[in-house]
Structure 1
Amino acid sequence: MSSIRIAIVGGGPVGLLLARLLLNKPGLDVTVFESDQSPNCRGQGGSLDLHEKTAIAALKEAGLHEEFLKRARFDGEALVICDKGFIKYVNLPGAGENSSRGRPEIDRFSLREMLLHSVPPGMIRWGWRLCSIDEQHNLIFDRGTESGFNLIVGADGAWSKTRKLLSSQRPAYSGISGVTFNIPHAKEKAPECYETVNRGSVFAYSDGKAITGQQVGDGSLNISAWCVQGEDWKENAAHDVSTVQGARSQILDTYQDWDSRLTDFVRHGEEPITRSLYMLPVGWKWKHRPGVTLVGDSAHVMTPFAGEGVNLGMQDALMLSRAILKASRSSNPIADLPSEIERFEDDLFMRARKTAELTRDMMQWWFFTEGSPRSVVEKVAVRMTMFHKSGLLAYATLPFLTACVYAYYLGFKWFH
């Protein structure tokens, strides 16, 4: 019986998790192609909160849950959502493994390291940057051409080269851009910022702007300042945002009426990186093409304001692995693979649409609604709660949940 040869393009969390889920399974030959020259050639950013029914379920099936628990930061579940005056509309404490709310944090670096260690080094080809895929499904890299794969999985991110074989659709600018910073050794360098974050996350929204602070396991803080502005904002900025002082000055000039506990994140920020946020249309899908599929941001890139992107992507890896394994156990694996992949894609389209709708709504409420967060906090609370529930019982309790949330914030706003 011939093996199913699989090429995974992209060695981020989603691609690596898929490789792990397929590891040592009979009848499968898997290779991961990663454009990075080495595992540590660039930073991985802040931390992620993984959810029980999606990402954590995938890690359990991959046999990595115990290792995840060693790396997870349950105290990182501490969460503040506030406005520019530091009025806290949501204020949740940190937790422990036995009191978790089902959303423990893990550093991006630690998650990728865990996944890298879970697969044999020879499975990953470092420094293979994909240039294109031709109509015969030859993978054209900057280092040569590879061919003969029964399935090519695009896990190559927002600007996926694999996606181009399936569609001309490109991500569109969301209207939001900004700067991310790092505060290393925050407890010593910026103790007030360290205390404000409380080993978790702070998200502040007002006037189409946001400042976020997030604890990272190495003792640093990951800081972001987002703003509704044109795609050409860097060219029109009053300061050179490629420099530390210029980036700080640009932000502080436009956040002059914000509480100093929030702007202090920016004052202490180092290593600025300018970012513009892009998204695929809600409900976008591609026409099935045998031999090629997409997962993660390649399939459904969206803004980070619902915190669901990596969870959806890791669930993609789980569901795709099940489809591949089902085909591999059939009497004619290579012939049965396309139909299993098409069923996987139909499921992905439904899951992605639901998550993209949530993310669009959250972005709209936080950044494009007058008076936010005060004017939208009730809608956000109900929407987020219902997103993670399912079944008739959940919808039967919706009126009661809505009444309780709106009553709570009616009282909260009276005193604030």
Structure 2
Amino acid sequence: MIFYRNVSVVMLAIGVWQIANGLLNVALPLTMSGAEWSGLAIGAIASAYALGFMAGAFYAPTLIARIGHIRAFAAAGGLAAAATLFLGVDTNAWLWFVLRLVFGASAAVLFAVAESWIADSTPAKSRGGVISAYQIAGRAGIVIGPFLIAGGAEGVGAALLIAGAFLALAISPIAATGRAQPALPEKPPGSPLEVLKIAPAAAVAVFAAGLVNTGVLAFIPIWAGGLGGENANENVTAAAALVMGVIYAASMASQWPAGKISDHYDRRLVIAALGAGWAIVSLILVVFVNPGLIAGVVLIGLWGATSLAHYGVAIAHAADRADHGQLPAMASGLLLVWAAGSVIGPLIAGALYASPLGMRGVFLFSAISGALLAGAMVLRQRNKAAPSEADREDFVNLHATSAQLAEIDPDDVDT
């Protein structure tokens, strides 16, 4: 069908983009660690991406309305490629902070273009499956990316060149398409306070996603590089690529079952179970912080399967609570809450990493956060009844940078 050809272009572009993103998620922490940056500096660079993403999310609708989807995607993609290549000029913390800020803002624009394009092109009856395919394409790219430097290219220069090339390639499918650009509805950004009022459980869960996922993932590649025992120094990049690939693959495998289970039970209890799960795994990693490569891969896979799976469930809970007219504001507010957690989390994790606790402190932060999230969800479930069956929305498999909730058209929903 025509709409499948239209959205396949977007999926291809985002898949290629995420290959570069996955590569950078490994290469940058290893480079900063190799340059002996402090934990706070490494955390600040991770926070810069989230801060830029927050700004880009605000400005993206205005930019797209002004110059259109294709030009906005090309402009943001070019900025992201340039910001990535300029990282190779010097390993200066302030330079990297600014460049990752630009990269984060560009990423927000790219995702806004891609997801609004898909929503415009896809009939309501097919939207759930198409969005899931889009998410899988992106996550597959993140899994593939780290392995491009695992056994071949060495040094940050080669990694940045490869990433820059894929970022540039991501522009080509969108820029070359002959498909007419969709119109983006004008929707005012929502306030996080509105999210707290309508769906406080969803707001807490989304904040936890930004706080822990971004904070811990900023240091996982560095931790992974030491899992090889006596040969750790020889296999740093390969171990980091393997670990990050396992994390994202495990999260891909667990998100859909978690979401489908939440369609039949109180979503807050599903989030609580996931929070308790990653708290337990994190505590094991606090005790056995260097369990060896095989055990480390298994444990971190379990951590990824639990800690990266609850965002979509939280979004579904928010949709259950909100009226259809409130969905655009709800989506914007949730994105802001996630970004706020993503700014704060790496700073906390960085401070703990720089302390005598080192990586144990980072995993302890993860454990406490998961336990607090689980407790908050249970308390909220006891104090507030779950939405009725008629008010529950079907689960849609979303990841933490998705604003897809904002694209739901009330006229497309069966009543």
TM-score by length of 2: 0.28
Larger Rg, first or second structure (1 or 2): 1
Query: TM-score when scaled to structure 1?
Result: 0.28
Higher relative contact order (CA 8 A, sep 6+): 2
Structure with more of its chain in strand, by fraction: 1
